[in-house]
Structure formats: C-alpha cells, structure tokens
Amino acid sequence: MQLVTEQLCCEYAWRDARELHRETMYWLEYSAHLLERPTTLREHRDILVNAGWLTLLLGCLEYDLGNIRQAELSRLAALQIGKESGHAEIVGWTFELSAWFALTQGRLRSVAQYAEAGSAAAPHSSVVVQLAAQSAKAHARMGQGDHVHRTLDEGYRLLTRHDHPTRPENHFVVDPTKWDFYAMDCYRLVGDNRRATEHAHEVIHLSRAPDGTEKSPMRATEARFTLGISALRTGDIESAVSWIEKAKQEGRRSQLPFAMLAQEARRQTLELYPGDPAARPILETLQLSVPNG
C-alpha cells in the first residue's frame, strides 16, 4: 500500500487526471476494505496514513478537474484522517490545499492564514516551504513587492533545512527544483521580467526527462505562459504568440490556475497592444481557453 500510494503521488504531475482519479479511488476503497479486517494498532495507523495521502491526492485531482466542492470535501476528509492518525504532515498539507484553493479563487488575504495554520501543524515538514511559496504568490497578486521578496527569502531558508527527498517527483514533497517554479510565478506577477524569464527557462529544462518527454507538464505550461507574458512586456509579440500557443496545447492542466494564467496573458495583450493585428493570434488562442473572456 505504501509503495502504491507513493507511486500514485509521483504520477500526479503527468498522468491524465481522470484516469489517475479512478485508480486512486480504487486503492482508497481497498484501504477501507483492509480497515474492516482485524489489524494491529500499527497496521491500522499505517493503513489510515496511506488513506490520508490518497485522499489528499483525490482532492488535488478533483480541483484540477474543476470539481471544487468535491475537492473541498476530500480535503476535509484528509484533515480528519490526519488528526485521527496523529500525522502532522498530512494535516499540514490539508492547509496547503486550502491556501492553493484560496489563491486560485482570488481569496488572497486568506492565504496567509492557511499558511500560518499549516506551518503550525507541521513545522518540521517540507510543507512549510510550499506554504511560504503560496504566501509569496498571494503577496505578488496583491502587488506587495516587499512582502514577496521577504517571503521568498524565508521560504528558501526553510528549504535549505531539508534533505533532498528520495522521490522528488512526489507531489507532496518539496525539493529545490520546485523553487524555480514558485519564484517564477512571483517575479512575473511583480513585473520582474528578467528574473521571471530566467526561472521559466529553468522550469522547462527541469520539467524535461532525459528522453525528451515532459515529466511536469503543468509546471512547463505555466513557464510558457510566463515567457509569453514577459515577451509581451518587452515588445516581442512573435515570441509571445509562440509561447502562449505552446502553453495552450498541453492537455494535462489544472482548470482554475490555467484559466487565471490565460486571463493574465489576455489582459496584458489588451493593455499593451489594443487593436494590434500582430497580437490577434494570442487573443484568438486565449478566447478558446477562457470561455467568458
């Protein structure tokens, strides 16, 4: 169960969301079946812990698929399992999901509260790094540049305290390669195009497996949006069109974050190039991504 659970969490970044959701549900139901059998206290807790990680994974997938209500119910279920099993890290990640939900729904002032609660629940887990990153993103969206830099510095300091994980591709661990992704988003939002571009290229490089396939397509998509938006700001419309069209082509996505990026790119295009025929392909591409503009 532990091996299967970890593998499923490692496949989150690239597998089809519906397919992975079905398989995760199967193993969660299997966990429930095991809990109906006689077990030792240790076995019972181990099964619960695996069920907690699987339920967290379900919440992420449901949110990616746009099922916000069910994602919140899964998050609450994982929170209950984390408390029942005494697993602080699972509890911490449920607050990280809350911070992510709030960030992508525009409830920016709530993000810091969730980050504080998650850090208090699991102060020694790497989840505190991701919570710091979510706080930095919220500050960036509110235009609080000074807070962004301080929070990023604090997150990086926390990151250096943790050993490199054995399975860095696991969605519920934080490793140094993810930091470029967090920083990229923040620098783009505060208008630091040079740093945003540097981190975006690094994200794309780190997202590519040795055989050329993308092992983290959602991160790579955000990096392409970042490069497209930065190109718009520097007057390179041709590059912007290319990057944004590539971002649109990726099928593995989280619907709300993708829509936010598409809206951000569309808004920048309209502000910087109103009525410019050269920018029309961007608007046409993004019109297909954002149904209500």
d(CA 60, CA 17): 9
DSSP H helical segments within the chain, as ranges? 2-11, 17-35, 41-64, 68-85, 88-104, 108-121, 127-141, 145-159, 176-189, 193-206, 217-233, 237-249, 255-272, 280-289
CA–CA distance from 101 to each of 78, 98, 206 (Å)?
Answer: 15, 5, 25
The reported pLDDT for the residue numbered 209 is: 84
Structure-token pair, residue 140: 């960036």
For 110, half-sphere exposure in the C-beta direction (CA atoms, 13 angstrom radius) is: 13
SS3 for 214? strand
Q: What is the DSSP letter of 279?
A: G
pLDDT exceeds 50 at position 290: no
Neighbours of 138 (CB within 10 A): 26
Calculate mean pLDDT across residues 64-78.
Answer: 97
Asked if 189 and 208 count as a contact pair (C-beta separation under 8 A), the reply is: no
Calculate mean pLDDT across residues 146-159.
Answer: 89
Calculate mean pLDDT across residues 127-150.
Answer: 93
d(CA 163, CA 261): 32
d(CA 10, CA 168): 8
- What digits encode the pLDDT tens for the residues 105-119? 999 999 999 999 999
Neighbours of 195 (CB within 10 A): 15
pTM above 0.75, yes or no: yes
Of the given ranges (84-98, 100-114, 149-163, 218-232), which has the lowest mean pLDDT? 149-163
CA dihedral defined by 195, 127, 81, 88, rounded to 10 degrees? Answer: -170
- Sketch the domain layout of the chain as residue ranges: 1-86, 204-293
- What digits encode the pLDDT tens for the residues 221-279? 999 999 999 999 999 999 999 999 999 988 888 999 999 999 999 999 999 999 999 99
Calculate mean pLDDT across residues 75-84.
Answer: 98
